[in-house]
Chain A
Amino acid sequence: MKALTRGTRWLSGLLLGGVLAFAVHAQGNLEIDTPAIAALKASMQQRHAQLAPMYASGAIGLGADGTVALRDASVVPLAQRGGLNALVAAENADRAALYREIARANQHPEWEADVRRTFAQRWIDRAQAGWWVQRGGAWVKK
């Protein structure tokens, strides 16, 4: 009886060790290699060729909420402004889907807002010199 109890205690200890190892492993990286995320990345990468000159001219900037925002449409010729709006809308739709997909791929849909906040910070931190970013509600040129 006593031996059995000790064995059970050891077994529970080992099981907990397994849980611990799994938790540590799961903690290391976020899953971002899913087909949905790959498709969104490809779409955004393609669009970036058109967006890059807009960032540089200051027509658009990186918002504090992880989106792309129209900053000064007047630097863009009138004829192209409609296209610019569509470009910004499409980019923001992809970004919203990206944040949602990352949260979902990691079995925590409730992380979406945290993912968005993380991305917002990283887009802004890594923006090139001369691009406009939103800080504390105001536009700042990097």
Chain B
Amino acid sequence: MSFTSLRPFVLAAALSLIATACVTINIYFPAAAAEKAADRIIDEVWQIREAQTQPAAPTDEGAKQ
């Protein structure tokens, strides 16, 4: 069996490995995304202005209030 006939299988196997790894991560709690979501909600509930928060805060939060 030549390498060319094996290549699709090898590629599919590699993809399946990567995909499985990602699906596994998604089953676990996405801590970083949750932190981001918590910060967005806390900004709104506590009405924290842009100047008081970290510079990374999204700019559209202040406009909504």
Chain A contact residues, CB within 8 Å of chain B: 2, 6, 9-10, 12-13, 16-17, 19-20, 23-24, 26-30, 32, 37, 41, 44-45, 48, 98, 102, 108, 111, 114-115, 118-119, 121-123, 126
- Please tell me which one of the listed residues B18, B25, B37, B39 contacts residue A27 in the complex, with CB atoms under 8 A apart: B25
Q: Is the interface of B mostly helix, strand, loop or mixed?
A: helix
A125 to chain B, nearest CB (A): 9
Chain B contact residues, CB within 8 Å of chain A: 5, 8-9, 11-12, 15-16, 18-19, 22-23, 25-26, 29-31, 33-42, 44-48
Measured between beta carbons, the chain B residues less than 8 angstroms from A32 are: 37, 40-41
What 7 additional pairs, Cβ within 8 angstroms, besides A19-B22, A48-B46, A114-B31?
A: A9-B9, A27-B22, A27-B25, A30-B37, A108-B29, A119-B38, A126-B46
